[in-house]
Amino acid sequence: MLRLQRILLLRELGLGLTEVRRVLEREVDDVAALRRHLAVLRAEQERLARQIASVERTVTAREAGEALMSEQMFDGFDHTVYREEVEQRWGVAAYEESDRWWRGLGEEGRAAWQTRQAALQADWRAAAERGVEPGSEEAQLLAARHVAWLADVPGTPGHGGTPVRAYIEGLADMYVADPRFAAHYGGQHGAELVRDALHRYAEQHL
């Protein structure tokens, strides 16, 4: 039962069965592993609670005709929680430039950006559910949108022009390797579609 619980938790994080087996073989201390799972679940619970409260405040304010406050609207959408990870992967300058860009967007700009991101992720999930092939026209159009979306972020390799192929392929691989990303695309299968489609697009256009 303990092993089954760990398997179910890992599957909920978007890991495929092969990755689940590797994790179980690598992390033999069940209690320590479950404590790490618990920390992840609590962090996600807190983030979702803040987002729910944020949206509820927005709905209430709109219904009452009140002014919307950015610090309330975007609570739970804090990008700074990934600062250390971004700096380790792409450098301090990359984080600082993208942070200035995000803060400079203003309320409407941030809302528009999040809407664009959510629409792209939803389209990827829908494509994965229908069994769209990575090399198909639909998947390649989605890949083009995805690359254009990434290229709009200051501090990223190739910003404002043609994105660097290695950067796109590296991100594509991370979508599958990191369950936090896989969750945005409907799980492991969706993340694999995004990865394979982006690789195909990068080979042909970057």
Same domain, 115 and 204: yes
Residue that wins the pLDDT comparison between 175 and 138: 138
Per-residue pLDDT band for 199 (boundaries 50, 70, 90) equals very high
Pick the last residue of a domain from 57, 77, 97.
Answer: 77
Asked if residue 61 belongs to a domain, the reply is yes
Same domain, 113 and 55: no
pLDDT (0 to 100) of residue 14: 61
Same domain, 132 and 181: yes
Residue that wins the pLDDT comparison between 75 and 124: 124
Asked if residue 97 belongs to a domain, the reply is no
Instruction: Name, in order, each residue with C-beta under 8 angstroms of 45's C-beta and a sequence gap of 6 or more.
Output: none
d(CA 159, CA 163): 6
Same domain, 113 and 206: yes
Token pair for residue 148? 């254009």
Mean pLDDT of the chain, nearest integer: 77
User: Residue 158: left if φ>0, alpha if ψ -120 to 50, beta else—which one?
Assistant: left
Residue with tokens 């700074």: 80
Same domain, 190 and 120: yes
Other CB atoms within a 10 A radius of the CB of residue 107 amount to: 13
d(CA 113, CA 7): 35
Least confident of 16-25, 42-51, 66-75, 135-144: 66-75
Token pair for residue 120? 């792209």
Residue 120 has pLDDT above 50, yes or no: yes
The model's pTM is 0.56
Tell me how many degrees the CA angle 163-165-171 measures, rounded to the nearest 5: 90
Residue 56 has pLDDT above 90, yes or no: no
